[in-house]
Amino acid sequence: MSYQFELTEEKSQYVLSIRERTNVENLPQIIGKAYGDVMAYLNEIGEVPVEAPFCIYYNLDMENLDVEMGFPVSKKIPGKNHVQLNEIPAGKRVSCMYKGPYKDMEAPYNAMVQWINENGYEPTGVSYEYYYNNPAEVSENELLTKIVFPVK
């Protein structure tokens, strides 16, 4: 399968998010709860996200994932309890829109790393996924995920 990669220079982005450690088996429940908690807080204060929900992967240790889940917001909004204001830093990013099951995302990840290396960039070690639809509402073959690698 071929993938389309895009190199962009992005501004920093405020986010409301929750950061946790979990294993891959519990990830769907952890993500679902985090999105629910962040959205409940946004609704409470009358704010709305400015982009699709995301998950930041700080490592790829499937037994001890370090993940941050939440929503981009338009301005600095104080956190509350475990929902925190954070900022995705500005910088160069390589992205790819992937359509298909989450379980098959290794292929686009590998293709992105290969493209990054062949084009003289270096990944920072962090990856982002933005989720444009919900697995409870569409078939897994219709899932849309934007994969993003910050690069140097």
What is the pLDDT, as a whole number, of residue 59? 93
For residue 63, being part of any structural domain is answered with yes
Name the residue among 90, 81, 84 with its Cα closest to residue 71: 84
What is the pLDDT, as a whole number, of residue 60? 85
For residue 1, being part of any structural domain is answered with no
Question: Could you give the strand order of the β-sheet that contains 84-88, starting from the edge strand earlier in sequence?
Answer: 6-10, 91-99, 144-150, 127-131, 54-57, 65-72, 13-22, 84-88
For residue 93, being part of any structural domain is answered with yes
Q: Which domain holds residue 67?
A: 6-150
Other CB atoms within 10 A of residue 140 CB = 11
pTM of the model: 0.93
For residue 49, being part of any structural domain is answered with yes
Render each residue's pLDDT in the chain as its tens digit; 152 residues: 689 999 999 999 999 999 999 999 999 999 999 999 999 999 999 999 999 999 999 998 989 999 999 999 999 999 999 999 999 999 999 999 999 999 999 999 999 999 999 999 999 999 999 999 988 899 999 999 999 999 99
